Amino acid sequence: MPVSTPRQTLNRLTIIVLIQWMGATLGLPLLPLFLEHRGGSPHVIGLIVAAFFVAGVATQFLLGHLADRFGRRRVLISSLVAYGLASMTYALPLGATWFTLTRVVQGSSAGALEVASMSAVAALFAERERGSAVSRILAAQLMGAAVGPMAGIVASVSDLGWVFFVTGVISLGAAVVAFNTNLGDEAYDPSPLPPMHWNRPFVGALVAAAAVGLAVGVYETCWSLLMHAHHATTLQIRLSWTMFCLPWVLLSRVGGWIADHLNRRLIALYGLLNGAAFLATYPHIHNNVAMLFLGSFESIGSALSSPSIASLLSQGAQSRELSRRQGLYATSTTASMALAAVSSGYLFTIDSALPFTLVAVVSSGLAISTLYFWRRVEGRISPAPSANSPVG
């Protein structure tokens, strides 16, 4: 069994997640053009891009089950190797339709990485420290998503295949690092997995995940369209994504501290309602500079609350169910995101404010419902007793 301290594991996973998210988003600004040059029609390009998310929805719970059954390290290493090899196929002289398989493998592998890394953190860190640890992984995801597209702009469409090839090599290198990392796996247990404990923190976290996913789906499809309708420049549209990501990265550790020291239930509810309020406001703001700063303020609320939601997901869980819980959480997020992305494009053609307003209402309803699911849930995690504390 590999030996690394929980802190060393967290540092390694932070770097691995950062690299993977950078690689996943590196070529996104140019990927549709790359596929067009390989003979893809707009319809085919849409299917290829969507294949990444469909694969994630279809496999995340299964991969969580495998991680609980056979160990997180095996799933993490396999996902990094598969992602690396799939990324290298972009350098091959293939037609566009062949890259559907590439995106399927990448989507499944990215989902496996998220499930294994987040459940490893939950297994290695006590509940009173989990918020701070989880915040590091969330910050790495956002940093990679912020830096990747900007870095990919320097590459031309003709060079994009080799850019992906390099990210594949880096992913293989990350697999070597993961091979020597302790992910909190216990010795292999051939006995059947115990059933998941569907406690209140877990169910409420799944509802919160759906609320977050719906909002993200609207942004993925309609944010750039909305800013363009408000006559934003290309630079302003790019800056809007960066200005959302940066406060999150800078304040993620504060959010982790809040999750470990304050009432997680109330902080999570605040974050969900905060996101819904901003979602409903954006269509009515016609000053693009104001939109940039409003996005940063929304990000502050997300950064301060997301670690609390992630901590509630694993609260009271046993080690051999952590990956399945994370798999269902990721599935809830991704499925609701895909649903919102598909429907909001059509709603936007009816009225530019409609998808934002409708999803804000639904997300608010889901957020308020967590008051029911999280009732009588311990929001504050008690500190561990000191060695001199009386027992009994």
- Is the pLDDT at 390 greater than 50? The verdict is no
Q: Which residue from 86, 82, 87, 52 is spatially nearest to 167, judged by alpha carbons?
A: 87
Please say whether the beta carbons of 125 and 252 come within 8 A. no
Q: What is the pTM of this model?
A: 0.85
Domains of the chain: 1-185 (1.20.1250.20), 196-379 (1.20.1250.20)
Give residue-wise pLDDT tens across range 17-36: 998 888 777 766 667 778 88
The per-residue pLDDT for 194 is 87
What DSSP string describes 241-276? HHHHHHHHHHHHHHHHHHHHHS-HHHHHHHHHHHHH
* Single-letter residue type at 344: S
Q: What is the mean pLDDT of residues 336-361?
A: 89
Q: What is the mean pLDDT of residues 143-148?
A: 80
- Match 């561990």 to its residue by tokens: 384
Give residue-wise pLDDT tens across range 82-112: 999 999 999 999 998 999 999 999 989 988 9
Give residue-wise pLDDT tens across range 242-266: 788 888 888 989 999 999 999 999 9
pLDDT over 90 percentage in the chain = 52
The per-residue pLDDT for 389 is 35
Of residues 152 and 389, more confidence is placed in 152
Reported confidence tier of residue 151, pLDDT bands at 50, 70, 90: low
- Is the pLDDT at 50 greater than 80? The verdict is no
Of residues 167 and 270, more confidence is placed in 270
Give residue-wise pLDDT tens across range 113-125: 999 999 999 999 9
The whole-angstrom separation of Cα 288 and Cα 232 is 6
Q: What is the mean pLDDT of residues 126-142?
A: 91
H/E element, 84: helix 72-88
Q: What is the mean pLDDT of residues 336-343?
A: 84
Reported confidence tier of residue 233, pLDDT bands at 50, 70, 90: confident
- Is the pLDDT at 273 greater than 90? The verdict is yes
Q: In the chain, what's the furthest Cα-to-Cα distance?
A: 72
Q: Which residue from 176, 358, 390, 335 is spatially nearest to 280, judged by alpha carbons?
A: 358
- Is the pLDDT at 368 greater than 90? The verdict is yes
- Is the pLDDT at 388 greater than 60? The verdict is no
Of residues 82 and 241, more confidence is placed in 82
Q: What is the mean pLDDT of residues 62-66?
A: 94
Task: Average the pLDDT over each of 107-121, 181-195, 318-332, 343-357 and give the range with the smallest value.
Answer: 181-195
Angle at 280 between CA 278 and CA 285, to 5 degrees: 80
Give residue-wise pLDDT tens across range 181-219: 999 887 667 778 888 889 999 999 999 999 999 998 888
Task: Average the pLDDT over each of 14-28, 142-156, 357-371 and give the range with the smallest value.
Answer: 142-156
Mean pLDDT of the chain: 87
Residue 218: count of CB within 10 angstroms of its CB: 28
Q: What is the dihedral of CA 150, 152, 156, 160, to 10 degrees?
A: -160
What DSSP string describes 50-71? HHHHHHHHHHHHHHHHHHHHH-
